[in-house]
Structure formats: structure tokens, C-alpha cells
Amino acid sequence: MKEYVVIYEWTGRNYSAYVPDLPGCVAFADTLEETERLMLDSIKLCIEARKEAGQPIPEPLTKAKPIVVAV
């Protein structure tokens, strides 16, 4: 089991998401919850496609942590 960081962004119209450690692994939807569900499917498909193509599965190297800043 591997744990990948997913970056979620509000585009002004919907949410988009990507995995920095899995190039090309993306999803988008109207809600954050739907985007999360689609992102899980996208990660599984990206990994499966790499396996079928005989490509290595990238290790999850990206870390993320929020930092609070007074403004």
C-alpha cells in the first residue's frame, strides 16, 4: 500500500486535482467529494496502466502540510 499526496484546487467553476508523484494522474468535478472519488479511481488506473506497460510505479515522495499565516 502506498500513500500519494493529492493536490485539490478550486478553479472558480469546479475542483481539479492531481498527484505530483504520478504525472498525468488528474481528475475534476463539481464538488470536492466527487473529485476525491474520481481521483481515487484515477490513481488506480494510472498505476494499473504503468504495470501493464511494464513501467515502474513511482514512489510517493511529495509531502504536504498546511502552514497557518496571520493576515
Nearest to 59 by CA among 7, 24, 21: 21
CA distances (Å), origin 8, targets 26, 32, 55, 70: 10, 8, 26, 22
Single pTM value for the model: 0.90
CA 51 to CA 24: how far, in whole Å? 15
How do residues 30-41 score in pLDDT, each as one tens digit?
999 999 999 999
**CATH number of the domain that residue 27 is part of:** 3.30.160.250
| pLDDT, position 38 | 98
Domain count, the chain: 1
- Domain region containing 33: 1-71
Q: If you average pLDDT over every residue of the chain, what do you get?
A: 97
Per-residue pLDDT band for 48 (boundaries 50, 70, 90) equals very high
